[in-house]
Amino acid sequence: MNKWVWLLLTVSCWMAAGFALCGSRQSQAGKEAIPPALPGRIVSMAPDLTEILFALGLDKEIVGVSQYSDYPPAAREKPRVGSFWQPNIESIVAAKPDLVITLTTTGFDQQKRLAMRLARMGYNNLTVKLEAIAELFEGIKQIGKATGRRHQADEVVCDIRMKLQKLSNLVGAGEKVRVLWVVQREPLRVAGRDTFVNEMIELAGGENAIGPTVHKYPPIGAEQVIASGAEVIIEPDMGQQDLSAQQESAFRYWGKFENLPAATNKRIYVIPGGEVSRLGPRLYEGIETIAKCLRPHLFES
């Protein structure tokens, strides 16, 4: 039995030593980083953030972007620092950033952990939340403030707001078009009410054909499709380069639903995903694309 006592004692001492050594260090951690007035080396951890940074004219200051930052084209030339959900903290530190911008998203704590870790090491970081259009405007202003581009940020926001106002005048307050927004066909998943896509549809003069659901992007069955009475079906492209191929298969797939107005009137649109799959400075362009699908006649001139 003696060896067991020794083992227990050794392990207890080891633990005690650990807490004595690190416990105190942990409490005093988090030496506050002093944010530079004009950050010169910025790392963006999400494609939407990259778009905002470029829109604010920070091309030269960006020293690292996340894996899928593909817009504007100049973003593709920037060094990659891992993806949004698997940030590569080594590459981030190697880029010697003086500002790291992370995105908080409900459900993913990868970015939150990254931000906490960077903060503990004394790196200056900014966390932005972009899940609704109001948050986008707020986020652009936050980033503008942190990068010394307050003026440009206000301009970007004003510009989007103005264009949206014009669009809403054009569309008018008439009958809403019922839209089914398809994110995935097999199994069928559509955009629910609690999404920014829903906001975009409403701003474009439509209304979501699917009522309130538990999921943000609920999986639905054929019955709900018929019940939705969708007048227009929109499919953002699902990664294929060739939109016409997807358009063709969409007609074939939705042709089954004979009683669905969208299918009978062949109002099924496949649109490029870039503008509508993330919230960024291209918000207006995305909404305009949707509006064109809903009321093509308004845009013919």
* x-marked contacts with other proteins along 155-194 as a string, rule CB under 8 A: ----------------------------------------
Does 70 participate in binding other proteins (rule CB under 8 A)? no
Does 38 participate in binding other proteins (rule CB under 8 A)? no
216 backbone dihedrals φ, ψ, rounded to 5°? -70, -45
Single-letter amino acid code for the residue at 51: E
The residue to which tokens 């959900």 are assigned: 85
The answer to whether 268 touches 251, Cβ cutoff 8 Å, is yes
CB atoms within 10 A of CB 134: 10
Does 94 participate in binding other proteins (rule CB under 8 A)? yes
Does 2 participate in binding other proteins (rule CB under 8 A)? no
- Please give the residues from 205 up to 234 whose contact with other proteins meets the rule CB under 8 A: 214-217
The answer to whether 129 touches 135, Cβ cutoff 8 Å, is yes
Q: How many positions of this chain bind other proteins (CB under 8 A)?
A: 46
Tallying the residues shown for the chain, one arrives at 301
Candidates 38, 121, 170, 222; binder of other proteins (CB under 8 A) is 121
Q: Select from 53-61, 100-108, 227-235, 248-256 the region that touches other proteins (CB under 8 A).
A: 100-108
Candidates 48, 51, 61, 98; binder of other proteins (CB under 8 A) is 98
Candidates 76, 113, 161, 256; binder of other proteins (CB under 8 A) is 113
Q: Select from 14-22, 158-166, 172-180, 231-239 the region that touches other proteins (CB under 8 A).
A: 14-22
Residue whose CB is less far from other proteins, 26 or 265? 26
Centroid of chain to Cα 152: 21
Indicate left, alpha or beta for 270 from its phi (over 0: left) and psi (-120 to 50: alpha).
Answer: beta
Candidates 37, 60, 73, 106; binder of other proteins (CB under 8 A) is 106
Does 23 participate in binding other proteins (rule CB under 8 A)? yes
In whole angstroms, the minimum distance from the beta carbon of 109 to other proteins comes to 5
Does 89 participate in binding other proteins (rule CB under 8 A)? yes
Residue whose CB is less far from other proteins, 146 or 157? 146
Does 96 participate in binding other proteins (rule CB under 8 A)? yes
Candidates 18, 30, 211, 255; binder of other proteins (CB under 8 A) is 18
In whole angstroms, the minimum distance from the beta carbon of 168 to other proteins comes to 29
Q: Select from 105-113, 155-163, 243-251, 279-287 the region that touches other proteins (CB under 8 A).
A: 105-113
The answer to whether 68 touches 44, Cβ cutoff 8 Å, is no
The answer to whether 245 touches 253, Cβ cutoff 8 Å, is no
Token couple for 289:
């694309």
Which residues bind to other proteins, rule: CB under 8 A?
Answer: 3-4, 7, 10-11, 14-15, 18-19, 21-23, 25-26, 33, 67, 80-83, 85-86, 88-91, 93-94, 96-98, 105-110, 113, 117, 121-123, 214-217
